[in-house]
Amino acid sequence: MIRAVKKSALPVYLFLLILSVDVFSQNSVSVTFCHYPSGENVVRAFVPGTFNNWGPNSNGRIYPGSLSQMTFIDSLCLYVKKQYLTEGSTYEYKFYEHYNDSGTDYAWITDPLNPEKDPSNYNNSVLHIKKGFVFEIAPGNGSIINVSRPVFSASLCIEATDSILTNQSEIFIDNVFYRNVNDVFIPELSIVHSRLPYLNDGIHSVKIEVKTLNGLSFTDSTEFSVKAGGVYFVTPDIDSLLAGAYNVRWKIEIPVEAVRKITFSQIGRYPITFTPNSSGLYEYPVTLYHGRNQYQIIVEDTSGSIFYSDTLNLVYPVSENPAVKIEFHMQGEDILVTGICESHTEEKLSYLWKNQDTNPCLLEKVESCTTSTVQIKRPSLPGDYSFKLTIYNEKGDSGSAINFFTVNQDSSITFPDYATVPQWVRNARVYSLFFKSFTSEGTISAAAQKLDYIRDLGFNIIWVLPVMDVEGEIDMNTNIGYNIV
């Protein structure tokens, strides 16, 4: 259930919203950002961008009550934020969601209703400000809708001193006049929000033509497919997944006795067939490839009719962090330590070297060195010498690597290869710790009280299994989590 303000009359929300908007100046254009929450666990939403110092945020985190926080309109099931922006300017922005009350669980989201993005800058959404334009038109162009009566919405952006002529601004469906916006325009928000009439399965277009008091005319349109056969994804589109695996869920609202075949298809790859079940709910763990992964459900019923779901888009982005490698070579009696960036880039790179605490002694020439190569004298003390190199690109992205060489008892040098490991690995006794099952409380705090117990068993390293949230309940054999028995 979406956590939102308590439901009441729309004007109460609008009063609060109007109090929160910025004071406009000459050449200001009123822009209302609209954001449909990505899931039922969204607690609050924000619209950070170049117009509000990106939130503001601290190391990627935006706190409750920040300038960019949006207002949830319960009757419309969306978040809104009205902003006055300067005509002729270009801005970048994203949406940002909190998934818990404190805001420690969050995500940055590219605006799914704005097709213009900057792929070179974290896929930020881009907004060009004109005197009059239609913004965030929904359904999005090219989308697939699984209901017969979709909601059409759009933000109508005009100068702060102008107003919409609602009786002259019109909506067309498939190039046929449908209605004017008089009863579906919310002036306090400057958005149109209208439930469309029943549409048959197939491709449809909706166009809106806008006229203003100051004589402006502008238009925009969207084209989408309706596939309302009762097959749809429960999992939302995600544009920036951090891991290469995800649990996909979908719903089939066709009576189970009428379903002959269910096919789950990753577009461009082999399909998987499922047996119908009485609940109509299905899930499957998918392995993601870097880039955009698209999925579709195809259902055949006993009469031979075919039903298609919408297309699910899961994006597993290629990391922009530099790929780092450390190599060692002898140069006379000295050792040449070289840092290599294996990423193909023409950007200017910065280097930072560090000794590891396990080294027999500190090699001062390496510590905090900022060149790609360091030449050091052969250490006199035997043991493993490990070094960490961090490489930064111009955007501030960083990648790091650790490598080591060994000074043997006879002062000879062994450089690492696939057959060598450092001494701490050779001495390692690893305990795999799963917090959920380790103690009756199943918490990190409870496990911390038993570290001496693990040490007394003879272990000197703890391998902590992932502690992020997973969908569903642990140990119920129904989710992609660690189903420990």
Please report, for the chain, the start and end positions of each structural domain, with discontinuous segments joined by +: 10-224, 231-316, 324-420, 428-485
pLDDT values of the chain reduced to their tens digit, one per residue, 485 residues: 333 333 334 444 444 444 344 455 568 999 999 999 988 889 999 999 999 999 999 999 999 999 999 999 988 889 999 999 999 999 999 999 999 999 999 999 999 999 999 988 999 999 999 999 999 999 999 887 877 788 999 999 999 999 999 999 999 999 999 999 999 999 999 999 998 987 877 889 999 999 999 999 999 999 998 876 678 888 888 888 888 889 999 988 888 888 999 999 887 677 889 999 988 899 999 988 888 899 999 988 888 878 888 788 898 887 778 889 999 999 999 999 999 988 766 778 999 999 999 899 999 999 999 999 999 999 999 999 999 999 998 888 888 999 999 999 999 999 988 777 787 788 899 999 988 888 888 888 899 999 999 999 999 999 987 665 554 445 444 444 444 43
pLDDT for the residue 483:
42
**Which pLDDT belongs to residue 234?**
80
Beta-carbon count within 10 A of 23 CB: 7
Residue carrying the six token digits 């029943």 = 198
The dihedral built from the CA positions of residue 238, 239, 240 and 241, taken in this order, carries a sign that is positive
The whole-number pLDDT of residue 479 equals 43
Cβ–Cβ < 8 Å for 373, 337: yes
SS (H, E, C) the chain: CCCCCCCCCHHHHHHHHHHHCCCCCCCEEEEEEEECCCCCCCCEEECCECCCCCCCCECCECCCCCCCECEEECCCCEEEEEEEEECCCEEEECEEEECCCCCCCEEEECCCCCCCEECCCCCEEEEECCCEEEEEEECCCCCEECCCCCEEEEEEEEECCCCECCCCCEEEECCEEEEECCCCEECCCCEEEEECCCCCCEEEEEEEEEEECCCCEEEEEEEEEECCCCEEECCCCECCCCCCEEEEEEEECCCHHHEEEEEEEECCCCCEEECCCCCCEEEEEEECCCEEEEEEEEEEECCCCEEECCCEEEEECCCCCCCEEEEEEEECCEEEEEEEECCCCCCCCEEEEEECCCCCCCCCCCCCCCCCEEEEECCCCCEEEEEEEEEECCCCCEEEEEEEEEECCCCCEECCCCCCCCHHHHCCCEEEECHHHHCCCCCHHHHHCCHHHHHHCCCCEEEECCCCCCCCCCCCCCCCCCCCC
- Amino acid 256 reads V
Determine the Cα–Cα distance for residues 289 and 390; give it in Å rounded to an integer. Answer: 27
In the prediction, which pLDDT does 358 show?
87
Q: Which of 410, 399, 401 is nearest to 327 (CA)?
A: 401
| Domain 10-224 matches domain 231-316 at the CATH topology level | yes
Q: Which two tokens stand for residue 311?
A: 């297309």
pLDDT of 205 reads 96
As its CATH architecture, domain 10-224 has Sandwich (2.60)
pLDDT for position 228: 67
pLDDT for 469 equals: 53
β-partners of residue 396 are none
Q: Looking at the domain that runs over 324-420, which CATH code has it been given?
A: 2.60.40.10
**231-316 placed in CATH 2.60.40.10:** yes
- Check: CB of residue 5 under 8 Å from CB of residue 46: no
- What pLDDT score was predicted for residue 417? 80
pLDDT at 13: 42
- 7: exposed, middle or buried (C-beta count within 10 Å: 0-12, 13-18, 19+)? exposed
Q: Is the pTM above the cut of 0.95?
A: no
Determine the Cα–Cα distance for residues 233 and 258; give it in Å rounded to an integer: 20
Residues with Cβ within 8 Å of 279's Cβ and at least 6 positions away in sequence, in order, are none
